[in-house]
Amino acid sequence: MTFEEFHYHIPWRALGSHPGHHTGVQSGGGFEFQGLVPFTSQPDPRYLDIRAMIADPMQQLMVKSFRQRATIPVYLLADLSASMGFVGKAAKTGLLAELATAVAWSAWRTGDPFGLYACDSQIRLDLSLPLRLYKGMVSGLSERLRAFHPKSNNALGLLEAATLLGRQRSLVFLVSDFHFPLSQMEELFNSLVRHDVVPVVLWDSGEYENLPRFGWAEVQDPETGQRRRLFLRPGLLQRIRERFAERKEELTQICVRHGREPFFLVDRFDPDAMTRYFYQ
């Protein structure tokens, strides 16, 4: 079986003690030259530097010190509130499952542990995974995510999950359509301040494109359950599109203020686009 894979990159040094792929802060058997230190502080004759010893007026033995590359924790926090049940060109839960599988597989290929918290009003333990080294997604979990029918009117479980990520800095994929108040989004980012957050905005173009040009339509806010009748016409459709464009700009501004631009996943997941996101 083949899985989608992308490559991710972090601009900070990993604090982990386990050897891995990412530039770290600890000394060890890496390839990044850190400096010269006395032999007594790092007694490894393989790294003796004779030139440095000759140049030292005290004639003390000196060894080359290198930084060890390390692993990082990789988490995916998934919003499973009611609006994530939208089905247009694709089912949002299907796109979420596809992305989660790609993140889990990419973490395994990079050598990093992976954890998943799926949340509506609380953490859904039946759809979550503890931080661990997995060979991709655990069998059956992707199918359970695809088959899940979101009903909760909020995603407050994400705030609870943020407190469970630990103190070590992690790479966190925050996946949601972000159809909740901006104040709640600010609170969520503040609770994740010690981590490197990748906001993944999961939308479907059917939410704002290819709508009927004329006629009555009954619409429902999936988060509140509130129903409303609208008379669709070109002017209203244009305002809907403009409001989504404004929302995109609002989300971008908040995400940039908290560290990274958002990755907009619309209709289909492209692993190459995700790789470009990290290396652009």
Q: Which residues constitute the domain of residue 63?
A: 27-67
Domain final residue pick, 15, 47, 67: 67
Q: Does residue 32 share a domain with residue 166?
A: no
Residue 22 within any structural domain of the chain:
no
pLDDT tens by residue, 4-16:
899 999 988 777 6
* Section 96-103 average pLDDT: 96
Q: Is the pLDDT of residue 220 over 80?
A: no
More confident site: 1 or 184: 184
Q: What is d(CA 237, CA 235) in angstroms, rounded to the nearest whole number?
A: 5
For the chain, how many residues are written? 280
Q: What percent of the chain has pLDDT over 90?
A: 54
pLDDT value of position 24: 59
First to last CA, the chain: 30
The tens digit of pLDDT for each residue in 42-55 reads: 677 776 677 777 77
Buried b (16+ CB within 10 A) or exposed e, 192-231: beebbbbbbbbbbeebbeebeeeeeeeeeebbeeeeeeee
State the chain's mean pLDDT as an integer: 84
Q: Of 238, 240, 262, which is closest to residue 250 (Cα–Cα)?
A: 262
Q: Over 90: is that where the pLDDT of 276 sits? A: yes
Q: Give the residue from 134, 129, 132 showing the smallest Cα distance to 161.
A: 129
Extract the tokens encoding 100.
């989660």
Q: Does 124 lie in the same domain as 199?
A: yes
Same-domain pairing of 130 and 154 = yes
Question: Which among 129, 103, 133, 101 is positioned nearest to 117, based on CA atoms?
Answer: 129
Same domain, 243 and 195: yes
pLDDT at 169 over 90: yes
pTM above 0.85, yes or no: no
Q: Kindly state whether residues 196 and 249 are assigned to the same domain.
A: yes
